[in-house]
Amino acid sequence: MLRGRGMILKRVLDNPILEPNPANEWESLNVFNCAVVYENDLFHMFYRAQGEDRVSSIGYAVSSDGIHFNRLQQPVLAPYDEWDSLGIEDPRVTYVADARRFIMTYTAYSLRGITPFFAESQNLITWKRIGPLVIDEDNKDHVLFPRRIKGRYVTFHRRAPDIGLAFSADFENWTDFQSLVTPRSESWDCKRVGAGGPPIETKQGWLCIYHGYDDDNIYRLGSFLLDLDDPRRILARSKGFLIEPVEAWELKGEVPNVVFSTANPVADGKVYVYYGGADRVIGLATCTIDELMDFTLHG
């Protein structure tokens, strides 16, 4: 088996931290792939949930310690029209300082295919949809940077099998698409890669977590560092992986052998990496931001 040299993400003891709730039909089958925002000393979680029909909605839960969550009984976002009739999937949430609001990126799924959307909120409960984004093909894994760079908003996105970048002045019209992170042959991320949670701004650069998988379709997490002023420049990329599926709930579920992160908030110097385990439950692993930086540069 592949090994992640110097793996530094440590699972919390209470994993999985969120499981399906059979009392609510809309989240009775799977809960996974969540966004998490740390705001006013609370962890606000937005998680993808499915009932027996496998149509995804977005639920909300809140926690004071990042581990034990209380959730609303109804979703905060549910399928609305022909763009998302088959589900709303894989949210990421960024507080965009220039826009003075929270922006959720998510994938709308319907008979049209998969389409990138945004939603905006100022209170983390009510959300107004923005979209569809002006993209002319199936595209997902889009994640906003927390501020403009040289006057433009920046987002990761996926044109398979790569992680790409795109730029916009208004959140709606995205241009200058370009490939950024690509799969590496004979590696744990040799088949396809995709962005994780929002980039973390540090003095050294934008610190980012991503997922990749190999020819055996085993999902793992890695990291890379981008230039603060020019995110098209990769300064470092981890050789090893941060975490791989080893627990029973990561190995077996709706999709086996998956750890898939869409959230990495930082609180008091600790990075909280929330991830979907086998597309069935939500897990949490942590490290310090210094450990994550060192692993990115040397691991």
Is 1 part of a structural domain of the chain? no
β-sheet bridge partners, residue 223: 209
Tell me: the pLDDT tens digits for 176-225? 999 999 999 999 999 999 999 999 999 999 999 999 999 999 999 999 99
Percentage of the chain modeled with pLDDT above 90: 88
Number of folded domains that form the chain: 1
CB neighbours of residue 50 within 10 Å: 22
φ/ψ of 289, rounded to 5, equals -65, -30
Q: What is the mean pLDDT of residues 267-273?
A: 98
Secondary structure of residue 286 in the 3-state scheme: strand
Q: What mean pLDDT comes out for the span 69-93?
A: 96
Written as six digits, the tokens of 13 are 């003891």
In-domain check, residue 4: no
Spatial separation of the C-alpha atoms in residues 139 and 133, rounded to whole Å: 10
pLDDT category, 173, cuts 50, 70, 90? confident
- Of 13-27, 149-163, 164-178, the one with minimum mean pLDDT is 164-178
Mean pLDDT (the chain) is 94
Q: Residue 160 domain-assigned?
A: yes
Minimum mean pLDDT range among 109-118, 226-235, 248-257, 269-278:
109-118
Q: State residue 133's pLDDT score.
A: 76
Give the C-alpha separation, 141 to 107, whole Å: 8
User: Looking at the domain assignment, is residue 115 inside a domain?
Assistant: yes
Give the DSSP H/E element, type plus range, for residue 289: helix 289-298
Q: CA torsion 161→249→91→185, rounded to 10°?
A: -10
Query: pLDDT value at position 287?
Result: 98
For residue 134, name the pLDDT band (cuts at 50, 70, 90). low
Contact 161, 141 (CB under 8 A): no
Say if 22 falls within a structural domain: yes
Q: Select the more confidently predicted residue: 131 or 294.
A: 294
Q: With contact defined as beta carbons under 8 Å apart, do 120 and 128 qualify?
A: yes
Mean pLDDT of 228-252: 98
Mean pLDDT calculated for residue range 10-32 = 98
> Does residue 5 lie within any of the structural domains?
no
> For position 248, what pLDDT does the model report?
98
Tokens 């941060």 correspond to what residue?
A: 242
How would residue 2 be classed by pLDDT, with cut points 50, 70 and 90?
very low
Q: Provide the pLDDT for residue 170.
A: 86
> Residue 155: inside a domain, yes or no?
yes
How confident is the model at residue 259, as a pLDDT? 98
**Residue 112: predicted pLDDT:** 87
CATH number at residue 164: 2.115.10.20
Write out the residue range of the structural domain in which residue 273 sits.
10-298
pLDDT of residue 98: 86
Q: Is the pLDDT of residue 174 over 70?
A: yes
136 burial level (CB within 10 Å; 0-12, 13-18, 19+): exposed
pLDDT (0 to 100) of residue 242? 97
* Mean pLDDT computed over 132-158: 88
Pairwise CA distance, residues 95 & 39, whole Å: 10
In angstroms, the CA 120 to CA 118 distance is: 7
The answer to whether position 3 is within a domain reads no
